[in-house]
Chains A and B, each alone.
Chain A
Amino acid sequence: MPIKFKLWPALLGALALTAALPVARAQDSGALLDLLVKKGVVNDQEAEDLRAQLTKDFAATPAGKLNLGSALTELRLAGDVRIRYEDREGKLPPAAAVPNDKSERTRFRYRLRFGLYGKLLNDWSFALRLETATGNRSSNVTMGDDGGPFAKTSDALNVGQIYATWTPSPMFSLTAGRMANPLVTTPMVWDADINPEGFAEQLKYRDGDNEWSASLGQFLYSTSGTQNPFGVGANGKDIFLLATQFGYKRYIEGTTTFFQINPVLYSYAGLDKVNNPATFTGVFTAVAAQQDSVNDLLVLEIPAEYDWLIGGTPVRVFGDYAVNLDGDDRARKFGGDVKSGEDTAYTIGAQYGKAANKGEWDVKAFWQSVGAFALDPNLVDSDIFDSRVNMQGLVLNANYALGAATQLTLTYGTGKRKNESLIAPGTGDIATVNTTLLNTLHRYQILQLDLNIKF
């Protein structure tokens, strides 16, 4: 009895504290109320009255109005907003019809990405991310581009990611849908905005300081529609991009000093049917309409990086090398050759610092060179070198954290056509007219100033 007498003021205090917590964690008080009843501090009906009052208080909060599915164990809302000023310039060669003609495009742009991420019972999870813009390699909306004062024509939201993941073990996951790129790669090969559609399987195993991983991707590059049409129509096939990646990561000191290398092989399946979507199956030639073709691409990419600390500041050197093992055939069909390294691409650079918290900053510089027959021009980064291959140059980047969720980013890139005897194909957006002419781009530079807000 003396224990009870000492206990109940403390318990009631704890209950009051629980009820007063933000977002009214009232429904969590059940165990405490049960304990109070068990200790004889309150009777069942008094506990019930209190429970009802706490539930009413909770119901008055925004959280109390939500009614989520019982299979949901976690729900997270997250996203980011970016406001960008961009200037990109291109110059034609001296031998062009209009020698040294220049194209300049400045834009104010914004981007919204808003995601809903849920964990479910039985090792499943899902994601839905909405993004502005319809392009595969950009979620930017250019301000004032939709035909009237502040019209909303180009301001729609689209499904950027939608996928389900099954993770039966911490070592294995299977993802299906339109997903974030599951591969370890760089913008030299994959634009970071691309969310491939299809399937991915990932394995990861760590033993002490050694970590091995494998990622397999089967991405629907393009569908032929009806594979076996009625009547005399010829059969078609879906085109798949298949990726097989193996990774090794060596932890040298904690998680801050490590080395990792992640070779990956890309191949394309389903190209053998001539009536497949022409965009990607025509032979890669100088004809403008056929510069997206993916014939004779068997690309081996080897990204690697080494991270460590200098005086407590994170430092990173990184590189990526890629070679098209079918480069000879791709060059021959185009009418070129690969003698000058046109079947290879590489990037090498370093980063100092990491702008994670308020007042922190980082700088990064890298050199990139991409041969005309080295990579899939439909996947390369859309900003650095304007979505084109057969380009090389230097990129500088700096970030400053205005707050834990707010960053200023400055990026500058300057480059030129790598091999002037070949075109620099790609679907870039330096200009909206004379796109064929732009394949003979001689010089290129880009400046971007971003305000990034994460939530």
Chain B
Amino acid sequence: MKKSLVLLLALCAVTAAQAQKLVIKGSDTLGAKLVPQLAEAYKTAHPGVSFEIAAEGSTTGITAIIDGTAQIGMSSRRASATEMSAAQAKGVNMKPTIVAHDGIAIVVNTKSPVAGLTVRQVEQIFAGDITDWSAVGGPAGKISVYTRNTSSGTFKDFKDLAMNKRDYATSSQKMAGSEQIVAEVAKNPNGIGYVGLAYTTEPGIKVVPVDGKVPSKASVQDKTYPYARPTFYYTNGEPTGEAKKFLDFTLGEEGQKIVEKVGFVTIK
């Protein structure tokens, strides 16, 4: 009887250890490629851990931390003052940790002859002031603007970094993720969009230099590329338990190798 009880307790303990699940929600920029690959590598070393990853935009990641429905909130933007205020009202201490750097690349169809844009032209195109490629040195043709949707951190970051906080052109088409933007621009010779560095090598698109600069490891790290930005894990205070271990793994040598392999810029 005693042996049976000990065995049962041991089994329960093992089951509990194996049921460790890390819930990560937020940014599509981070969550579509980078974090799943980090999770796979982490699971190799920690087989008892499972992941639930939902990449539906940075806003959902920040909200998840405020609501306590995730241990880690992925975000490609900083939490706003109103989000901080909402968090404080619930006793949540929003703690950002930079996990990788990124550059928001301006991409057009590979058939487009446009070889470069200025910061001002980028603002005018995405705000709807310029609607035809002939205004920026291209052949006549109505510009199709593809942006992320409103829950995206890149959507907001791009407004802040590239558009002087102006609203997007009403004719702009809002996509659920970076991959959709790439797919649309690759199909449309008059298309223009923006994606994180990790998506710039997809077929059918090319990166347009802005003020002569293209996003690269060097230009993002030294912040000379105009649309360079950090990306974050948000936690409620200093992370603990499995969340801390995963964050340490992300910041560690192995994690940062994955960061670089996926196309982001490492933090060091």
Binding site for B on A (CB under 8 A): 27, 34, 38, 44-45, 48-49, 51-52, 55-56, 58-60, 64-67, 70-71, 121
Residues of chain B in range 89-120 having any CB-CB distance to chain A below 8 Å = 94-98, 101
In the assembled complex, the Cα of A44 lies from the Cα of B79 at a distance in Å of 16
* Chain A residues within an 8 Å CB radius of B26: none
Using known A-B contacts A44-B230, A44-B267, A70-B167, determine if residue A60 contacts B98 with beta carbons closer than 8 Å: no
The reply to whether B267 and A55 form a contact with Cβ atoms under 8 Å apart is no
The reply to whether B98 and A59 form a contact with Cβ atoms under 8 Å apart is no
Pick the contact of A55: B81, B167, B232 (CB < 8 A): B81
Residues of chain B in range 34-87 having any CB-CB distance to chain A below 8 Å = 78-85
Closest to B128 in A: A122
Using known A-B contacts A44-B230, A48-B96, determine if residue A65 contacts B159 with beta carbons closer than 8 Å: no
The reply to whether B230 and A52 form a contact with Cβ atoms under 8 Å apart is no
* Chain A residues within an 8 Å CB radius of B83: 59
Chain A nearest Cβ from B165, distance in angstroms: 5
The reply to whether B223 and A34 form a contact with Cβ atoms under 8 Å apart is yes
In the assembled complex, the Cα of A328 lies from the Cα of B85 at a distance in Å of 69
The 10 closest A-B pairs by CB, nearest first: A59-B84, A59-B85, A64-B81, A59-B81, A67-B82, A56-B84, A70-B165, A55-B84, A58-B81, A65-B85
Closest to A121 in B: B166
Pick the contact of A71: B167, B230, B232 (CB < 8 A): B167
Binding site for A on B (CB under 8 A): 78-85, 88, 94-98, 101, 159, 165-167, 223, 230, 232, 267
Pick 20 A–B contacts, CB within 8 A, sort by A. A34-B223, A44-B98, A45-B267, A48-B96, A49-B95, A52-B84, A52-B96, A55-B78, A55-B79, A59-B84, A60-B88, A64-B82, A64-B84, A64-B85, A65-B81, A66-B82, A67-B80, A71-B167, A121-B166, A121-B167
In the assembled complex, the Cα of A71 lies from the Cα of B97 at a distance in Å of 30
In the assembled complex, the Cα of A22 lies from the Cα of B92 at a distance in Å of 25
Using known A-B contacts A38-B223, A71-B166, A121-B166, determine if residue A59 contacts B95 with beta carbons closer than 8 Å: no
The reply to whether A60 and B94 form a contact with Cβ atoms under 8 Å apart is no
In the assembled complex, the Cα of A3 lies from the Cα of B164 at a distance in Å of 33
The reply to whether B79 and A70 form a contact with Cβ atoms under 8 Å apart is no
In the assembled complex, the Cα of A67 lies from the Cα of B167 at a distance in Å of 15
In the assembled complex, the Cα of A59 lies from the Cα of B80 at a distance in Å of 8
* Chain A residues within an 8 Å CB radius of B165: 70
The reply to whether A52 and B79 form a contact with Cβ atoms under 8 Å apart is yes
In the assembled complex, the Cα of A44 lies from the Cα of B99 at a distance in Å of 10
The reply to whether B88 and A59 form a contact with Cβ atoms under 8 Å apart is yes
* Chain B residues within an 8 Å CB radius of A70: 159, 165-167
* Chain B residues within an 8 Å CB radius of A44: 98, 101, 230, 267
Pick the contact of A45: B78, B81, B98 (CB < 8 A): B98
In the assembled complex, the Cα of A121 lies from the Cα of B223 at a distance in Å of 28
In the assembled complex, the Cα of A71 lies from the Cα of B167 at a distance in Å of 6
In the assembled complex, the Cα of A44 lies from the Cα of B102 at a distance in Å of 13
- If over half of A's interface residues share one DSSP class (helix, strand or loop), that class is named, otherwise mixed; here it is helix
Total contacts A-B at CB 8 Å: 60
In the assembled complex, the Cα of A235 lies from the Cα of B94 at a distance in Å of 66
Closest to B93 in A: A56
Closest to B267 in A: A44
In the assembled complex, the Cα of A27 lies from the Cα of B83 at a distance in Å of 14
In the assembled complex, the Cα of A358 lies from the Cα of B61 at a distance in Å of 54
In the assembled complex, the Cα of A197 lies from the Cα of B97 at a distance in Å of 55
In the assembled complex, the Cα of A51 lies from the Cα of B267 at a distance in Å of 17
The reply to whether A56 and B96 form a contact with Cβ atoms under 8 Å apart is no
Closest to A34 in B: B223
In the assembled complex, the Cα of A44 lies from the Cα of B96 at a distance in Å of 11
* Chain A residues within an 8 Å CB radius of B101: 44
Chain A nearest Cβ from B42, distance in angstroms: 21
* Chain A residues within an 8 Å CB radius of B88: 56, 59-60
* Chain A residues within an 8 Å CB radius of B98: 44-45, 48
Chain A nearest Cβ from B27, distance in angstroms: 16
In the assembled complex, the Cα of A252 lies from the Cα of B178 at a distance in Å of 63
* Chain A residues within an 8 Å CB radius of B84: 52, 55-56, 58-59, 64
Using known A-B contacts A56-B94, A60-B88, A70-B166, determine if residue A48 contacts B230 with beta carbons closer than 8 Å: yes
Chain A nearest Cβ from B32, distance in angstroms: 23
In the assembled complex, the Cα of A49 lies from the Cα of B98 at a distance in Å of 10
* Chain B residues within an 8 Å CB radius of A38: 223
In the assembled complex, the Cα of A65 lies from the Cα of B80 at a distance in Å of 10
Chain B nearest Cβ from A35, distance in angstroms: 11
Closest to B159 in A: A70
* Chain A residues within an 8 Å CB radius of B96: 48-49, 52
* Chain A residues within an 8 Å CB radius of B82: 59, 64-67
In the assembled complex, the Cα of A48 lies from the Cα of B234 at a distance in Å of 12
In the assembled complex, the Cα of A34 lies from the Cα of B94 at a distance in Å of 21
Chain B nearest Cβ from A66, distance in angstroms: 8
In the assembled complex, the Cα of A45 lies from the Cα of B97 at a distance in Å of 7
* Chain B residues within an 8 Å CB radius of A56: 84, 88, 94
Closest to A52 in B: B96
Chain A nearest Cβ from B44, distance in angstroms: 27
* Chain B residues within an 8 Å CB radius of A49: 95-96
Pick the contact of B78: A51, A64, A66 (CB < 8 A): A51
Chain A nearest Cβ from B176, distance in angstroms: 21
Chain B nearest Cβ from A36, distance in angstroms: 12
Using known A-B contacts A44-B98, A45-B98, determine if residue A60 contacts B230 with beta carbons closer than 8 Å: no
Closest to A71 in B: B167
In the assembled complex, the Cα of A51 lies from the Cα of B88 at a distance in Å of 16
In the assembled complex, the Cα of A60 lies from the Cα of B83 at a distance in Å of 11
Closest to B97 in A: A45
In the assembled complex, the Cα of A66 lies from the Cα of B101 at a distance in Å of 29
* Chain A residues within an 8 Å CB radius of B80: 55, 67
In the assembled complex, the Cα of A185 lies from the Cα of B142 at a distance in Å of 49
Which of B84, B167, B230 is most buried by chain A, counting CB atoms within 10 A of its CB?
Answer: B84
In the assembled complex, the Cα of A121 lies from the Cα of B163 at a distance in Å of 12
* Chain A residues within an 8 Å CB radius of B81: 27, 55, 58-59, 64-65
In the assembled complex, the Cα of A52 lies from the Cα of B84 at a distance in Å of 9
In the assembled complex, the Cα of A65 lies from the Cα of B83 at a distance in Å of 9
Closest to B234 in A: A52
* Chain A residues within an 8 Å CB radius of B94: 52, 56
In the assembled complex, the Cα of A49 lies from the Cα of B166 at a distance in Å of 27
* 19 more A-B residue pairs beyond the given contacts A55-B81, A58-B84, with a C-beta to C-beta distance below 8 A: A38-B223, A45-B98, A49-B95, A52-B94, A52-B95, A55-B78, A56-B84, A56-B88, A58-B81, A59-B81, A59-B84, A59-B85, A64-B81, A64-B82, A64-B85, A65-B81, A70-B167, A71-B166, A121-B167
